[in-house]
């Protein structure tokens, strides 16, 4: 056989071997897709999962069924994703922040976010604000920091639980500014709202959505938001950078994940169609009512963000010597 004939044979064989894989990628999806929501029905992650799936389903031509798998700080749902075949038929809307924090507070995790998951699309981020009781004699973040430093441990800080994002927001502020307060963990935001509004605790750095009607009524004040840019929900409230604490960033996060080994073609299709969903005016408006600012964009952007978030919260936990309670 001539060298030319041999090359032609090899090329033909390679094409034949590649054809089934190409056909499978082009055909996907051919059946129902499962969307894991690692929180209970009715919460933010569940609502985002359902709204996103509702818009995504007709674009893919298949039904997307939301599967709530709550518990253990969203790690039960993530473990279910890790066990799933990497065929594009099991996805998850979860939080990069949750899975950056999880290794430090949960023993014997069966998954590693960086090794087992691939982020497809950042759907959006919830707005977090520096909230203070109305009676506290401060007008801005710098005055709050100064007051806390002048009375170490005398101001109290409410969180929705030890080791959660709201707790770590305070730890990050303390590490960046030296503003030391007494941490008071509750079972959730709803459990500390009355205490915050009535001054039994003075400060929290929490998702503003639950507090919006009370902000409007003057029962609580927001000194700053922790996003890079001002929030459409509170356009007159400065960012932490504007308030004199550059580098302090935090947000509740909603990201579309798939198992790591899902094919590049499927990842690309999910990102492109998912970006169309995130760019939809009706979807954006629906999210904004939940306090969520949509993000979207190329997959490379959300992939670049994941190690940044992992390092941010690892640093806070390690510097604060925060151990499982």
> How does residue 12 score in pLDDT terms, banded at 50, 70 and 90?
low
Average pLDDT over residues 243-259: 97
- pLDDT value of position 318: 96
pLDDT at 25 over 60: no
Q: Check if the beta carbon of residue 101 is closer than 8 Å to that of residue 317.
A: yes
Domains and CATH numbers, the chain: 31-124+252-319 (3.40.190.150), 128-225 (3.40.190.10)
Q: Can you list the pairs that 274-280 forms with residues at least 24 positions away whose Cβ atoms lie under 8 Å?
A: 274/52, 274/56, 274/120, 274/121, 274/123, 275/121, 276/59, 277/52, 277/55, 277/56, 277/59, 278/121, 278/123, 278/124, 280/55
Return d(Cα 156, Cα 161) in angstroms, integer.
Answer: 14
Taking only the tens place, the pLDDT of each residue in 190-243 is 999 999 999 999 999 999 988 999 999 999 999 999 999 999 999 999 999 999
pLDDT at 32 over 70: yes
With a pLDDT cut of 90, the percent of the chain lying above it is 84
DSSP conformational letter for 32? -
Average pLDDT over residues 52-68: 98
- pLDDT value of position 6: 56
Bigger pLDDT: 32 vs 161? 32
- pLDDT value of position 43: 86
> How does residue 5 score in pLDDT terms, banded at 50, 70 and 90?
low
Average pLDDT over residues 126-138: 97
List the one residue out of 239, 232, 249 whose CA is nearest residue 284.
232
Return d(Cα 178, Cα 315) in angstroms, integer.
Answer: 16
DSSP conformational letter for 239? B
Q: Check if the beta carbon of residue 195 is closer than 8 Å to that of residue 189.
A: no
Bigger pLDDT: 6 vs 241? 241
> How does residue 19 score in pLDDT terms, banded at 50, 70 and 90?
very low
- Least confident stretch, 150-154, 186-190, 283-287, 312-316: 186-190
- pLDDT value of position 2: 55
Mean pLDDT of the chain: 92
Taking only the tens place, the pLDDT of each residue in 72-105 is 889 999 999 999 999 999 999 999 999 999 999 9
Please compute Rg for the chain using Cα positions: 23
247: its two tokens: 């580098």
> How does residue 287 score in pLDDT terms, banded at 50, 70 and 90?
very high
Average pLDDT over residues 278-307: 95
Average pLDDT over residues 104-128: 95
- pLDDT value of position 26: 64
Q: Check if the beta carbon of residue 83 is closer than 8 Å to that of residue 26.
A: no
The answer to whether the bond into 262 is cis (omega within 30° of 0) is no
pLDDT at 14 over 90: no
- pLDDT value of position 23: 47
Q: Check if the beta carbon of residue 203 is closer than 8 Å to that of residue 131.
A: yes
């Amino acid at each position: 056989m001539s060298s030319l004939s041999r090359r032609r044979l090899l090329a033909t064989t390679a094409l034949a071997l590649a054809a089934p894989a190409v056909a499978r990628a082009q055909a996907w999806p051919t059946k129902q897709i499962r969307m894991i929501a690692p929180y209970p029905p009715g919460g933010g992650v569940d609502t985002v999962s359902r709204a996103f799936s509702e818009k995504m389903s007709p674009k893919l031509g298949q039904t997307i069924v939301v599967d709530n798998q709550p518990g253990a700080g969203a790690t039960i749902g993530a473990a279910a994703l890790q066990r799933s075949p990497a065929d594009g038929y099991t996805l998850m809307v979860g939080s990069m922040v949750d899975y950056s924090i999880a290794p430090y507070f949960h023993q014997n995790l069966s998954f590693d976010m960086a090794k087992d998951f691939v982020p497809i699309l950042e759907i959006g981020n919830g707005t977090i604000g520096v909230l203070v009781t109305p009676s506290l004699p401060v007008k801005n973040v710098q005055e709050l920091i100064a007051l806390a430093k002048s009375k170490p441990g005398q101001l109290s800080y409410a969180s929705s639980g030890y080791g959660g994002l709201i707790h770590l927001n305070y730890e990050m502020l303390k590490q960046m500014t030296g503003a030391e307060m007494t941490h008071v963990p509750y079972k959730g935001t709803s459990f500390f709202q009355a205490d915050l509004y009535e001054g039994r605790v003075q400060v929290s750095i929490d998702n503003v959505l639950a507090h919006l009607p009370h902000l409007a009524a003057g029962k609580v004040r927001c000194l700053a938001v922790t996003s890079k840019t001002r929030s459409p929900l509170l356009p007159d409230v400065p960012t932490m950078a504007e308030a004199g604490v550059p580098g302090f960033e935090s947000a509740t996060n909603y990201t579309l994940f798939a198992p790591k080994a899902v094919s590049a073609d499927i990842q690309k299709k999910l990102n492109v169609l998912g970006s169309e969903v995130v760019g939809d005016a009706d979807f954006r408006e629906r999210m904004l009512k939940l306090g969520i600012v949509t993000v979207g964009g190329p997959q490379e952007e959300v992939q670049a963000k994941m190690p940044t978030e992992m390092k941010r919260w690892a640093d806070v936990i390690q510097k604060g010597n925060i151990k499982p309670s």
